Structure 1
């Protein structure tokens, strides 16, 4: 018996190193392990701080999210009205002066009719010569051309319209039915209009994380909020050169690991999954085997990892869990209690259960 007790003491002293499974090791509220982090454009190694999930944290995160929504590019009023640009095809008609119009224009194919704006934004017209029309609205170009022709003709009556819109374009890519380049016309092109022109989204589209690339910057747009809550701020006006990307949601999953009823990967549905929902989907955590005070959310980020910890020893902490939103690729980890770890050590090292060992010791008179 003495030898058995001695063996158990030795095992107890080395339980930490022999404990099967995963354990979050911390040091002064920082991880023990160094991870790659992007800082000032360079990759460095550093430990990640573990942040407690509190009411203050949830409030700060929500305010930051709302601020990000408000930081979307403002509507450019100059883009509301179409402005002529290079490669646009213009149809100009001067009444009572057929010599100035396209001969036989009624028989010309639409794609060949009219006059094309040159690369430098100029347009050649009889009597007037080269006139710069790029950046002008249709009304402004009509007025300017009428003024120039009035130097040669009396009571000029002129009509000008865009036959083919070629100068301003935006790309719609990703999970839409017909991705490609879309021309901007006299009707302003918004995010919702662009998606509609592309035939709508596919069943795999992640509407809550639409990305807009503009002028070297990337903006996140919650189109789902636009459709479900009427968030008009998300229906941005697109401009020339924009790229709108509707991402795939198939990989938008959260891993739930550790002492939960069922370890699994959960799909983030419409960008919404709280910590409490993830725990519930995993059948909660067992109070007999888990450490409720060690519920971690590990967020890899874009080379900027974050780790959050929820102390769920008190049931009212689940209010915080319900208000803490998870993100795609998060990992929820529930720690294991010391008693459970010790039990698993015995089961792995001893050739049978502890009861069987004790019975064997008694039989041999140890």
Structure 2
């Protein structure tokens, strides 16, 4: 009976349908199945090339990352000064001419004080009639109003300040203490300042994953690098209509599968996790059952999937693993050695453990 069993195994084992678990067929350097991919605005199905994790790949992707930083939108210098707009409330004080100022002086309700710029960007003032002030700075409006009043009064001296900033606002949403609308004032508003004015980031926030929506485009910002490394490239000046979304780290996980010590979902701490860190968090590669030459990183992307492969048969390949950063939703898969698959097949087909069966065979002299 035992001889018959071995004969059956010899016939059946070549059939891959008996091999338990997952195995990636990558002989041609392409993915085994077709995947949905966004190309030129259209979703298509195609097999993906499997990119080897090498020093060249890491250099190439690090260079591309720096180019993304250099392409972030900037606010030109003239936008840094506050420009008056509709619904702003201005306080205008003309010295030695109290009849032109707000009646009641300091006793007036601040909400009722000053003069409001109308929806067309115009401001009415006695003697000067209607002035178009939208898009102008306070000094520019002061100069224009002084010129108009000088037609009726001698040595006009006046002061203008913004009592209520209503024209230019941004929205801060996501993982901040008090999400909502933040008004832009005379002080230029940066990303870090906007987060601070929204009460600061919550404990669940992912400051490596901050999204800025502007003019129909979405920009990814890494604010954590500003706080930890002093890098200011992502601390952009904001402009009217911007929407700032602070990400949630609960959704930032890496999934580890295959021949590792423990298959699990690993949260990314403050947006940073390398391939080697993920392997260590999963209690390392099981070198008794794994195929170190087949360590894969499967990255779904935003309909832009990628597949990477690390050959870790040489220990120094772990340096590359440490230099290869993972992203949220990456799946790390460690392949199974052929002998392990064969052993598992035997354990599934034969009654009892394969080890016990081999011991019995030895005692029978087979």
Q: TM-score, normalised by structure 2?
A: 0.96
TM-superposition CA deviations, 1:136-184 (whole Å, max 9, x none): 1101100000001111111111111111110000111110001110111
Aligned equivalent of 1:305: 305
> Structure 1, residues 209-241: CA drift from partner, whole Å, max 9, x if none?
111111111111111110111112222111100
1-structure distance, mates of 2:104, 2:314: 85
Give a deviation string over 1:6-54, Cα, whole Å, max 9, x none. 212112221x211111111225111111111122222211112110000
Relative distance call for 1:288 and 1:360 in structure 2 (3 A) is closer
Which position in structure 1 is the counterpart of 2:186?
186
Aligned to 1:29: 29
RMSD value over aligned CA atoms? 1.7
- Is 1:116 matched with 2:116? yes
Contact residue 175 and residue 201 of structure 2 kept, 8 A: yes
**Structure 1 equivalent of residue 129 of structure 2:** 129
The structure-2 alpha-carbon separation of the partners of 1:358 and 1:326, relative to structure 1 and needing over 3 Å to count, comes to: closer
Q: Which moved more, 1:318-327 or 1:40-49?
A: 40-49
- Residues 159/45 of structure 1: CA separation in 2 closer, same or farther (3 Å cut): same
Distance 1:359 1:263, change over 3 A: closer
Question: Is 349-358 or 216-225 further displaced after alignment?
Answer: 349-358
Aligned to 2:41: 41
SS at match of 2:47: strand
What stretches of structure 1 of length at least 5 have no aligned partner?
A: none
Matched residue, 1:251? 251
1:1-366 correspondence runs (5 A): 2-14=3-15, 16-354=16-354, 356-357=356-357
Cα 1:327/1:122, change in 2 over 3 Å: same
Unpaired segments ≥5 residues, structure 2:
none
Tell me how far 1:198 sits from its aligned partner.
1.0
How far off its partner does 1:2 sit? 4.8
Distance 1:252 1:242 in 2: 24
TM-score (norm 1): 0.96
CA distance in 1, matches of 2:79, 2:137: 10
Bigger drift between 100-109 and 115-124 goes to: 100-109
SS at match of 1:167: coil
List per-residue Cα deviations over 1:314-353 (Å, max 9, x = no partner). Answer: 1111111111011111011000011000000010011123
Equivalent residues of 2:75, 2:239 under 8 A apart: no
